[in-house]
Amino acid sequence: MAKFLITGSEGMLAYAIKNNAYFADHTSYGSKDFNLLNFEQMEAVIKRDKPEYLINCAAYTDVTKAETEFEKANAVNGEAIRDLANLSKNYDFKLIQISTDFVFSGKDFFEKHEDDEIDPVNAYGASKAKGETYALDIAKDPLILRVSWLFGPHGKNFISVISELIKTKDEINVVSDQLGKLTYTVDTADVLAKLIERNESGIYHFANEGIASRYFIALEIERILKKYNMGAKSFIKAITANEYPDKTPRPDYSVLNTNKISFLLGEKPRLWKNALEDFLKR
């Protein structure tokens, strides 16, 4: 018996949660031992572990491939959440579902609040939106935490990819006309602990403070790499999303409003630049 059951255990966010002291009393499983597409397997693990909370970090996260593999994305991010939600009711645990800013279109230039109408920007967003709906409609007292542009240790993400490129390439192209908010996994795990401690339910947004384009973030990565003599040799060139080869629809303005969580916790999320510096220094 453990308090928390963490799914997607080899993923980036799961790594941060597993390493946060608040979640010490946990069991965690990767896709082999807790496959979201295998109801019997999930039920057997839940019966055995008897969690109070199931934190679902498992997801189909390849945003580009989801366009052509929608059924697969939908099965993992959508339909499987119905199973988790039913299990939550049957076995009396709280389902914590991690979701995304991509449930919004990002085509208008407004920050998105928790109760704003969803309008997924792409296939991945649509699959995650379905998962949210199942969790909210079926699960016992669910909590949905939406995050955006996630980065952290133990994962392939925009920051790790770009910092490697800046160290090794002479020139890189980075999109400058789409804006969003970075979210550090380590800060996300902290915030999740506080939400659980306060027994919160419903939808919450979390992202680090401050809005930036990927181009601006790349410049900041370069600045930090230089500051710590970690090697930065690229010329960073701004391009438009239209010039970027991957044509998967992405939001122009992907900004999760975090006032709800700030009011609850009595503090704003820390600035993305500070979180980024902490991450790159590690």
Ligand X SMILES: NC(=O)c1ccc[n+]([C@@H]2O[C@H](COP(=O)([O-])OP(=O)(O)OC[C@H]3O[C@@H](n4cnc5c(N)ncnc54)[C@H](OP(=O)(O)O)[C@@H]3O)[C@@H](O)[C@H]2O)c1
Contact residues for ligand X, defined by CB under 6 A: 7-8, 10-13, 30-31, 34-37, 57-61, 76, 98, 100, 128, 147-150, 155, 157
**C-alpha to C-alpha distance for 265 and 179, rounded to whole angstroms:** 26
Quickly list DSSP for 222-250: HHHHHHTT----PEEEEE-GGGSS-----
Q: Check if the beta carbon of residue 189 is closer than 8 Å to that of residue 17.
A: yes
Closest to ligand X by CB, 10 or 278: 10
Q: Check if the beta carbon of residue 29 is closer than 8 Å to that of residue 7.
A: yes
Nearest-approach distance from CB 90 to ligand X, in angstroms: 19
Nearest-approach distance from CB 260 to ligand X, in angstroms: 17
Closest to ligand X by CB, 40 or 170: 40
Closest to ligand X by CB, 77 or 234: 77
Q: Check if the beta carbon of residue 26 is closer than 8 Å to that of residue 3.
A: yes
Nearest-approach distance from CB 75 to ligand X, in angstroms: 8
Nearest-approach distance from CB 235 to ligand X, in angstroms: 26
In the chain, the amino acid numbered 194 is K
Q: Which residue is nearest to ligand X (CB)?
A: 11
Closest to ligand X by CB, 32 or 169: 32
Residue 115 has phi, psi (to 5 degrees) of -95, 10
Burial 89-100 (b: 16+ CB within 10 A, else e): eeeebbbbbbbb
Closest to ligand X by CB, 83 or 177: 83
Q: Check if the beta carbon of residue 57 is closer than 8 Å to that of residue 98.
A: yes
Give the orientation angle of helix 272-281 with respect to helix 214-227, to 10 degrees.
50
Nearest-approach distance from CB 211 to ligand X, in angstroms: 16
Closest to ligand X by CB, 76 or 172: 76
Nearest-approach distance from CB 171 to ligand X, in angstroms: 25
